[in-house]
């Protein structure tokens, strides 16, 4: 039986806490700590067993170390913001605790979407005898594990991967983001990028798009974006020729975003207003609906998965692996919409893999480096079942 410390009481933190509480045979004690104690207490009040709640400043290594030394967790799940990744990793190193997160480190000043800051921790984690599991959400996370599963069970060589992320949900607001608005808007307003024949190819934001018929959702326009799991997958898949990431957006969302960008509201550099420095994107975040509040009003489904093409026994082969998740079913179960749910379940399962010893290693690892089978088994059990469909490799349902 293990003790888990969860940092961050936002949309994802709520789901992780519910799911750890459900896994009674794995996590005997749970502590949820975040910047605002009342948010931890609100989540704790929804559970059917008692947990500990604490206030912590995750930017402050000494405050984290104080809490870790007092609670003595076996594993820490970081679902605060990507800005806190490095301070939390430092605290894990100082105290010898395994680390799990769902998003790569970002500096508040510059959006890089890169593992360049976290991968160099490998020798220090190895020497300390602890594990850092990076990107244990859905994408990154389950999408990496889908690729590892395809490589292990379906292909001798993987040539093409297309990761497809559709949100067919409707929250009824003119404009809102389904996870932290600051991180979300930084991601979608950046240039697009994909990897082909060993090189990254850059596109303008939203330049490449096509309509795709998503199972259980229907036709949606999806746009090519850069997404962080591609950086590790190009290192770890055999024979890869191209990998791309696609996400759906409604025309309404894109129009709002364009206006916000044109008027400067998505800037991440500080501007002076009435003698006070403010970051426009952080101010915008304060105006938009809290993603954690979207749960009761969001209807519809998400569909996230991978179309993988390659060679098996000398023959061309193609498969589509995906999960469909229903916003309202998530809300009924854990009081959250499907975006937080599809991130929080794999974060808990990743931590479960580490503490159960099934994925325990020393150093820093991405999800596709681990055995996909026990993870996928628990993923289904804890609410995210997945499908594998064989496609005709000569007529893939992708236009470009």
Q: For the packed helices 142-153 and 338-355, what is the interaxial angle rounded to 10 degrees?
A: 60
**Residue closer to ligand NDP (CB basis): 303 or 340:** 340
Cα–Cα–Cα angle for 234, 235, 241, rounded to 5 degrees: 35
Does residue number 179 form part of the binding site for ligand NDP (CB under 6 A)?
A: yes
Name the minimum Å distance from CB 156 to ligand NDP.
29
The site string for ligand NDP over 136-155 (x = CB under 6 A, - otherwise) reads -xxxxx--------------
**Residue closer to ligand NDP (CB basis): 132 or 310:** 132
* Cβ–Cβ under 8 Å, residues 382 and 24: no
Binders of ligand NDP among residues 77 to 116 (CB under 6 A) are 79-82, 84, 102-103
Name the minimum Å distance from CB 138 to ligand NDP.
4
- According to CB under 6 A, which one of 132, 192, 291, 363 is a site residue for ligand NDP? 291
User: What kind and span of H or E run contains 284?
Assistant: helix 280-287
**Residue closer to ligand NDP (CB basis): 113 or 223:** 113
**Residue closer to ligand NDP (CB basis): 144 or 310:** 144
**Residue closer to ligand NDP (CB basis): 171 or 317:** 171
**Residue closer to ligand NDP (CB basis): 13 or 168:** 13
To the nearest 10°, report the CA torsion of 351, 342, 228, 303.
Answer: 150
Name the minimum Å distance from CB 38 to ligand NDP.
9
Q: Tell me the C-alpha to C-alpha distance, in Å, between residue 239 and each of 64, 157, 261.
A: 42, 5, 39
CA atoms within 13 A on the CB side of 61: 10
Residue 56: name the closest of 47, 68, 45 by CA.
68
Total chain residues near ligand NDP (CB under 6 A): 34
**Residue closer to ligand NDP (CB basis): 317 or 327:** 327
Does residue number 317 form part of the binding site for ligand NDP (CB under 6 A)?
A: no
Does residue number 292 form part of the binding site for ligand NDP (CB under 6 A)?
A: yes
**Spatial distance between the Cα atoms of 71 and 30, rounded to a whole number of angstroms:** 9
The residue whose Cβ lies closest to ligand NDP is 10
* Cross-strand bridge partners of residue 6: 32, 77
Binders of ligand NDP among residues 327 to 356 (CB under 6 A) are 339-340, 343
Tell me whether the omega of the peptide bond preceding residue 140 falls within 30 degrees of 0, making it cis.
yes
- Using a 10 angstrom Cβ sphere, with 0-12 exposed, 13-18 middle and 19 or more buried, the burial of residue 388 is middle
**Residue closer to ligand NDP (CB basis): 2 or 104:** 104
* Cβ–Cβ under 8 Å, residues 243 and 194: yes
Name the minimum Å distance from CB 239 to ligand NDP.
26
Residue 389: name the closest of 157, 229, 164, 138 by CA.
164
Name the minimum Å distance from CB 34 to ligand NDP.
4
Binders of ligand NDP among residues 21 to 50 (CB under 6 A) are 34-36, 39
The number of helix segments (H) and strand segments (E) in the chain equals 13, 18
For residue 40 the two structure tokens come to 């931890």
Of the candidate spans 55-63, 188-196, 199-207, 266-274, the one that interacts with ligand NDP by CB under 6 A turns out to be: 55-63
Name the minimum Å distance from CB 310 to ligand NDP.
25
Binders of ligand NDP among residues 5 to 24 (CB under 6 A) are 8-13
Residue 65: name the closest of 41, 88, 40 by CA.
88
Name the minimum Å distance from CB 292 to ligand NDP.
5
**Spatial distance between the Cα atoms of 346 and 382, rounded to a whole number of angstroms:** 9
Binders of ligand NDP among residues 189 to 248 (CB under 6 A) are none
Binding site for ligand NDP (CB under 6 A): 8-13, 34-36, 39, 56-59, 79-82, 84, 102-103, 137-141, 179-180, 183, 291-292, 339-340, 343
């Amino acid at each position: 039986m293990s003790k888990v410390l969860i940092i961050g009481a936002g949309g994802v933190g709520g789901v992780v806490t519910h799911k750890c509480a459900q896994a009674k045979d794995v996590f005997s004690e749970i502590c949820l700590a975040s910047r605002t104690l009342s948010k931890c207490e609100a989540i704790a009040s929804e559970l059917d067993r008692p947990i500990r709640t604490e206030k912590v400043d995750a930017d402050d290594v000494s405050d984290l170390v104080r809490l870790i030394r007092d609670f003595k967790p076996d594993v820490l799940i970081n679902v605060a913001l990507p800005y806190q990744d490095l301070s939390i990793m430092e605290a894990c190193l100082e105290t010898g605790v395994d680390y799990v997160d769902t998003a790569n480190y970002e500096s508040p000043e510059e959006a890089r979407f890169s593992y360049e800051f976290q991968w160099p921790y490998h020798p220090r984690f190895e020497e300390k005898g602890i594990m850092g599991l990076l990107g244990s959400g859905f994408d990154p996370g389950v999408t990496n594990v889908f690729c590892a599963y395809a490589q292990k069970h379906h292909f001798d060589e993987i040539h093409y991967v297309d990761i497809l992320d559709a949100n067919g949900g409707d929250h009824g607001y003119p404009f809102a983001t389904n996870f932290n608005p600051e991180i979300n808007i930084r991601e979608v307003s950046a240039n697009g990028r994909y990897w082909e024949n060993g090189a990254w190819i850059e596109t303008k934001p939203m330049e490449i798009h096509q309509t795709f018929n998503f199972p259980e959702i229907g036709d949606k326009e999806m746009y090519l974006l850069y997404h962080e799991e591609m950086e590790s997958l190009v290192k770890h898949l055999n024979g890869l020729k191209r990998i791309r990431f696609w996400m759906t957006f409604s025309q309404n969302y894109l129009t709002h975003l364009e206006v916000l960008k044109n008027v400067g509201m998505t800037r991440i550099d500080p501007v002076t207003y009435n003698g006070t420095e403010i970051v426009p994107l952080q101010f915008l975040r304060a105006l938009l609906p809290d993603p954690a509040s979207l749960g009761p009003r969001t209807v519809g489904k998400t569909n996230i998965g991978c179309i993988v093409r390659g060679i098996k026994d000398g023959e061309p082969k193609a498969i589509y692996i995906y999960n469909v998740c229903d916003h309202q079913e998530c809300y009924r179960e854990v009081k959250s919409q499907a975006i937080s749910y599809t991130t929080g379940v794999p974060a808990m399962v990743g931590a479960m893999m580490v503490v159960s010893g099934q994925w325990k290693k020393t150093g820093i690892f991405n999800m596709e480096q681990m055995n996909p089978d026990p993870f996928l088994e628990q993923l289904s059990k804890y609410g995210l079942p997945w499908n594998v469909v064989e496609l005709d490799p000569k007529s893939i349902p992708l236009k470009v």
